[in-house]
């Protein structure tokens, strides 16, 4: 079908070198580290590489700057959620305090933001792509949700039982920050 349309599928890469060899060398991607759907993948180590982008600390700290920083953290699986929660909580507070978009935030919030971005700048995670064990293992999908006065969370884990040992790996997480202190009904999948 693609051949008839003269569409040459190229830039192939897999974590299996034997399968990679079956593709024409002109159609293989040359790099080992690539972006797939916005996520950095190292195919040699077979890991997702999660790094938060450098934050420009010279710009004034405003609600707009904080939102821009949070929005740049592309994390569709929610694997960086624990790192982003504090930033989202601060942003929520700025909304509740009715800050304008380009209004410089007060000193207390600035200190809080500087602590958050200090953690951001040192964040670098490698997360294995493979989440399963051997074919003899027993697998279970476990869902967990929780709520506090500030957040609602939902987490999906893969529980693997192998050689009488159990392991849990996070495969998806979602966080919603409450808009105000009143209880609200939430749909996580919006």
- pLDDT score for 12: 75
pLDDT for residue 180 = 66
CA nearest 110: which of 161, 43, 54, 57? 57
Residue-level pLDDT at 19 = 80
**Residue 178: exposed, middle, or buried by beta-carbon count in 10 A (0-12, 13-18, 19+)?**
middle
Given a contact cutoff of 8 angstroms between Cβ atoms, the answer to whether 84 and 69 are in contact is no
**In this structure, what are the phi and psi dihedrals at residue 90, rounded to the nearest 5 degrees?**
-60, -45
- For the chain, list residues with pLDDT below 70: 180-190
């Amino acid at each position: 079908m693609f051949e008839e349309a003269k569409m040459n599928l190229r830039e192939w890469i897999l974590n299996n070198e034997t399968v990679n060899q079956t593709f024409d060398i002109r159609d293989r991607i040359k790099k080992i580290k690539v972006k797939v759907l916005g996520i950095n993948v190292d195919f040699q180590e077979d890991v997702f590489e999660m790094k938060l982008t450098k934050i420009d600390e010279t710009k004034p700290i405003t609600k707009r700057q904080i939102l821009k920083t949070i929005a740049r953290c592309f994390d569709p699986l929610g694997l960086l959620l624990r790192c982003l929660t504090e930033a989202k909580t601060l942003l929520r507070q700025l909304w509740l305090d009715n800050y304008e978009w380009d209004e410089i935030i007060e000193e207390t919030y600035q200190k809080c933001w500087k602590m958050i971005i200090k953690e951001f700048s040192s964040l670098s995670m490698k997360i294995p792509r493979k989440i399963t064990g051997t074919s003899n293992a027993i697998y279970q999908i476990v869902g967990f949700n929780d709520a506090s006065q500030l957040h609602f969370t939902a987490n999906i884990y893969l529980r693997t039982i192998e050689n009488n040992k159990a392991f849990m790996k996070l495969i998806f997480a979602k966080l919603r920050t409450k808009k105000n202190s009143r209880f609200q009904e939430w749909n996580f999948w919006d």
